[in-house]
Amino acid sequence: MPELPEVETVRRGLVPAMEGAVIASAQVNRPDLRWPFPENMAARLTGQRVTTLRRRSKYILADLSGGESLLIHLGMSGRMTVSGDPLGQFHHNHPTPQKHDHVVFDMDNGARITFNDPRRFGAMDLMDTAAADTHPLLAKLGPEPLGNAFDESYLADALKPRNTPIKSALLDQRIVAGLGNIYVCEALYRAGLSPKRRARNISRARAAALVPIIRDVLRDAINAGGSSLRDFRQADGELGYFQHSFDVYDREGQPCRTPGCTNTIHRIVQSGRSSFYCPSCQR
């Protein structure tokens, strides 16, 4: 499932083709993905100018000139790719339509944005822009980890009453939005914290130290174009490269990369998810 860096990478790739441009034609090729599409979605999108393309947690939000916003969730296998961009940043020719091209936007600048989703776990919805924060998928989200509201005091206070493992607490989207399994594993390794530690037992100083570490991990991943483990592609069709920089994720049995450490990376299962960590370096 794409996490914050992958979604932000896609958003940044779509901006040159979509932001400020008009959706000249919207084509919806099936009635639903994970959930039914909103009523008359193609007609409601056609002729609308994309005023802003933003991200909230793992969702892309396209604010439209008519006062609605299009919410896009990539799901497990969803890809949004750009072709025919007049700025020359993407492939010039539109590719042959594929079986799983479920939604297609032709922009007035010549760009085409194709949403391809073989497993159909993605989603799209339309909502009033002014009320976007109350949408069921967005209403209970915590602060953005790269935003000002996610600071040292906030995280320390948020963790204090939690009797869950720190790994589970950081995956809770009500505490911090957008973090997923990969980047929580990597952040906890850099912080020297075991994923098994109870959130409420972590000192304020160590909780505070997690904030810049989480931000650094996310920024490093964004700069690398995200992580491509199976289906993820950037908007230009390229792979992300952060998977080559994993310190612990998916490295079970391999040597710990901390200088002087002779242990190997271990894997445990927490709440149905694999946690990777070094038992010597993470306490």
Active-site residue (options: 11, 58, 79, 233): 58
Active-site residue (options: 3, 6, 8, 68): 3
Concerning whether 167 is annotated as a catalytic residue, the answer is: no
Rounded alpha-carbon distances, angstroms, from residue 189 to 24, 247, 266: 47, 8, 12
CB-facing half-sphere around the CA of 209: CA atoms within 13 A: 11
Concerning whether 6 is annotated as a catalytic residue, the answer is: no
Residue 243's CB is within 10 A of a number of other CB atoms, namely 17
Residue 122's CB is within 10 A of a number of other CB atoms, namely 24
Concerning whether 144 is annotated as a catalytic residue, the answer is: no
Concerning whether 140 is annotated as a catalytic residue, the answer is: no
Site of tokens 């497993």: 119
For 142-174, letters b (16+ CB in 10 Å) and e give: bbbbbeeebeeebbbebbeebebbbbbbbbebe
Active-site residue (options: 120, 197, 273, 279): 273
The residues assigned a catalytic role are 2-3, 58, 273
